[in-house]
Structure 1
């Protein structure tokens, strides 16, 4: 029969390998992020009903997203920008509801150069 410390050590190692142990943030880390104005990236962004550029930018800024590019054509609204954690995303929104329909990481967030 195996001893209890061996079983506990095996379980801890399995949890570390699976990424379930130590993956969370401490209260101090969460407070430090809040002090710097950082907020977590929401599961889904929303821009409101039939939002134009100004309204969409304001709504997304309140959710911690910095708009770099905005494009509205027909039945789609596409926004490119940076999350509060510094990731560049391309977001697509339903034009009448303003709810996010898809997102993908991109590298189009570099400053635009005049050509």
Structure 2
């Protein structure tokens, strides 16, 4: 069963993503921020990391860069939300430049 690490500081977002992916047949683990995500991934790598960009402690951009440096084959989907469309698009573009395979805006 493919495994996915979902990283978001918002409990409701993590829960929604986890439930959706589990219903689709994926094994899902969770982390609340980039620091926790890196600790988990180093012990148990996942097939995919879905990672929020704006989080406390280590944000998603830093985490993406660290994951790609330590694990060049890691697959990352960066996600972000908010009301500043220009800022969101810039974050998504930076995430792709840092190695995210895909960058999506949260609904």
TM-score, normalization: structure 2? 0.25
Task: Name the structure with the higher helix share.
Answer: 2
Larger Rg: 1 or 2? 1
**Bigger relative contact order (CA 8 A; separation at least 6):** 2
